[in-house]
Amino acid sequence: MISPVPILSDDALHFLQQTIGAEFVSVNASDRAYHARDQSFHRAHLPAAVVFPETTAHVSAILKYANAHLIPVTAWGAGTSIEGNPIPIAGGIVMDFLRMDKILQVYDADFQVDVQPGIKYKDMNAKLAQHGLFYPPDPGANASIGGMIANNAAGTRTPGYGATKDNVLRLEVVLANGDVIHTGTRAVKTSSGYDLVHLFVGSEGTLGIVTAATLKLYPLPEHFSAVVASFETIAGATRAVSAIMGAGLGPVALEFLDPVTARNLNTTGEFKLPEAPTLLLEFHSATPHAIEHELALAQELCNDNGCTFFETGVGRAERDRLWKMRHSTYEVLVRNHPSISFLVCDVAAPVSKYPELVAECEREIRALSLPGASMVGHAGDGNLHPLVPYLPDDEASHARAVQALGNMVRVALRLGGTATGEHGVGLGKIQFMPEEHGASLELMRTIKRTLDPHGILNPGKMF
């Protein structure tokens, strides 16, 4: 592994300043501290310097120099990841894409857009709305597109539109040695050569740094339907998930909230949820009649599994209210339990195994006997986020939480699932990579050594 670089030489700083301008190279304490950690619980590591490139040529020149001088480089988008993905544990250079935040071209007729990696997801969609288009993967936070590509971010709309990997057509990537390559095409399908686009999607900046991307877009739907469905039991709610997905209804979003989450959300005064296992659903359609048909069938399937409350609301305002509620769950939980810290777990299993995954994870978090233990999940694609509580500054409590998290990951793997559905490997899931991937992990190492032989790109991640 490459040696840590706590400070840069005068020659290195001079090169960076000459390459992108002295005002865009920072070694001050506040900039370094800001880029030392993401939103995870993992320990901060200070970079030696932070740079703000503006062009692909800047990125290429910096990587070429860093590769020749064995300086670690970690790409930075918005810092919203929660597995320690962009923490510069080897110091060196953090490359912040704040200035590369442009929409380069919109192809209205093809439902595509070219963007730079630093543009934020929500900001981009606000601009695309002027064209009647949107980019559907929704991680909740206002993540950068580069970060979403690096982690293969997903979120609430995955059942209807897929994850980031399903919505990227081509990439411009700068390799560790500074070479610039282009992968993929603007055609919506191709069988030409190896699929290098998806090699880089989800690679967390360990194989190359994305400097531009072509994304798939969709027309803004005319008709929305938002649903809140509550159940007698968690088992009933999770069985309803399998029933809805198995019936081919195709909800755009299908989210799970446990009773603890519902109770906490109600404390804000903005919502009045039944304090019971709850599903949040969203349907899109070209006609109100089609939505009504889907709602009727969804309600029937929910009733078959012990549904006690089924509320619908058609239109953007109700949809926005639901997702504001869903995206605020962690913030509300933390605010309501100031004496508790949480590990955010991210596991996924086949949808048919979702009831078992949820049941096993519930047992794990309840055994900790601490307030705030709860679960939410992107149920429509089998993704679950247990929020694992522990007492801060209590090593034994933290160790029990870490053990519970590991137990839940192993449940997901036993069910044919994954240690990380959407948060990436980062620092938190490295230990589970051999168990999940077996002999294929060595092939991943070979690819890493081939594309980054000196190991300068986001070292200490993935392996």
State pLDDT tens for residues 244-289. 999 988 899 999 999 999 999 999 988 889 999 999 999 988 888 8
157-178 average pLDDT score: 96
What is the sign, positive or negative, of the torsion defined by CA atoms of 192, 197, 203, 207? positive
Specify burial of residue 286 (Cβ count, 10 A radius: 0-12, 13-18, 19+).
exposed
Q: Which two tokens stand for residue 198?
A: 């998806």
Show Cβ contacts of residue 399 under 8 Å, excluding neighbours closer than 6 positions: none
92-151 per-position pLDDT tens digit: 999 999 999 999 999 999 999 999 999 999 999 999 999 999 999 999 889 999 999 999
* CA 344, chain centre distance (Å): 12
Nearest to 176 by CA among 458, 463, 460, 456: 456
Indicate if the pLDDT at residue 361 is higher than 70. Answer: yes
**Helix, strand and coil in the chain, % to nearest 5:** 40, 20, 40
Task: State the average pLDDT for the chain.
Answer: 95
Residue 247, amino acid? A
Structural domains for the chain: 10-98 (3.30.43.10), 103-219 (3.30.465.10), 221-336 (3.30.70.2190), 339-452 (3.30.70.2740)
Determine how many CB atoms are found less than 10 A away from the CB of residue 47.
31
| Residues 6+ away with beta carbon under 8 Å from 422 | 139, 151, 152, 153, 154, 155, 158, 163, 346, 348, 378, 383
Q: Are 424 and 85 in contact (CB under 8 A)?
A: yes
Looking at the predicted structure, is the pLDDT value of residue 314 above 70?
no
pLDDT of residue 324: 84
Torsion of CA 201, 206, 212, 213, to 10 degrees: 0
Residues 6+ positions from 20 with CB-CB distance below 8 Å: 51, 52, 53, 54, 58, 62
Distance between CA atoms of 243 and 209, rounded to whole angstroms?
A: 41
Which residues does 394 contact at the CB level (< 8 Å), separation at least 6? none
d(CA 136, CA 49): 34
First CA to last CA distance, the chain: 10
Give residue 285's pLDDT: 84
| Secondary element (H or E) of residue 95 | strand 93-96
User: In sequence order, what are the beta bridge partners of 389?
Assistant: 342
User: Cα torsion for 147, 202, 348, 408, to the nearest 10°?
Assistant: -80
Asked if residues 379 and 245 have their Cβ atoms less than 8 Å apart, the reply is: no
Confidence at residue 1, expressed as pLDDT on a 0 to 100 scale: 60
Distance CA 163, CA 89 (A): 28
pTM here? 0.95
